[in-house]
Chain A
Amino acid sequence: KNQVEQSPQSLIILEGKNCTLQCNYTVSPFSNLRWYKQDTGRGPVSLTIMTFSENTKSNGRYTATLDADTKQSSLHITASQLSDSASYICVVSLSGGYNKLIFGAGTRLAVHP
């Protein structure tokens, strides 16, 4: 069964600290892996997209890694800000057909002052 699992479910950190969110997937055939940020009451916004051959990609203070062998990805947030408080969703795209997306349930991050 195609699945994307994220951990932790929720996380609280202090402003300025770093954190890492995890994503494990059992999806085949794999096309790419995406991280989205979803602010409360808003739609998800794309942060990064990585293909099989990419093992790291950055977007400002966000750095995503991908280990296609172990089927794991992480999203590292550096020097967190209050505006980083959001849900972070890991999404894996299947290759073939219409490239279906499999969504994780997300990690809810709260950054406190």
Chain B
Amino acid sequence: DVKVTQSSRYLVKRTGEKVFLECVQDMDHENMFWYRQDPGLGLRLIYFSYDVKMKEKGDIPEGYSVSREKKERFSLILESASTNQTSMYLCASSLLGQALNQPQHFGDGTRLSIL
């Protein structure tokens, strides 16, 4: 089974801090994604990557950056955390041919609170 592991289940940080969320997948997937999930809203894409050192902005990239130095690892960085970034963050991975019925496999999420 595909395993996507997020380093922290819960995280509490202060406004203005630089925050790192880490994600590792063990199935050699080319694509990796970061989403945030807020109550009453569908998942929204922050950034995705289709290869090492490659990144593309999603729908809500403002205030975030990403890093993909190795194929299995995709990091989300909050440059200067703000309270409106309090949310559940989900990492996902998939094979490159997403249109060909390849599902995205999700981690269990990091619930981030910014105080």
A55 contacts partner chain B, Cβ-Cβ < 8 Å: no
Looking at chain B's contact residues, the main secondary structure is loop
- Contact code string A76-113 (vs B, CB < 8 Å = 1, else 0): 00000000000001000101001111111110000000
* Contacting pair A98 B98 (CB below 8 A): yes
With A43-B4, A93-B98 known as contacts, the answer to whether A4 contacts B108 (CB < 8 A) is no
* Contacting pair A31 B104 (CB below 8 A): no
- The size bracket of the interface on B is 20 to 34
* Contacting pair B42 A89 (CB below 8 A): yes
- Chain A residue with the shortest CB-CB distance to B103: A46
- Report A's interface with B, CB cutoff 8 A: 4, 31-32, 34, 41-46, 49, 51, 89, 93, 95, 98-106
Contact of A41 among B45, B104, B108 (CB under 8 A): B108
B98 contacts across to A, CB distance below 8 A: 93, 98-99
* Contacting pair A51 B101 (CB below 8 A): yes
A105 contacts across to B, CB distance below 8 A: 40-42
- Chain B residue with the shortest CB-CB distance to A5: B42
* Contacting pair B99 A4 (CB below 8 A): no
With A49-B101, A93-B98, A95-B99 known as contacts, the answer to whether A44 contacts B42 (CB < 8 A) is no
* Cα A93 to Cα B107 with chains together (Å): 20
Extra pairs beyond A44-B106, A46-B104, A100-B45 (12, CB < 8 Å):
A31-B99, A41-B109, A43-B4, A43-B109, A49-B101, A51-B101, A89-B42, A89-B43, A93-B98, A98-B98, A101-B104, A103-B44
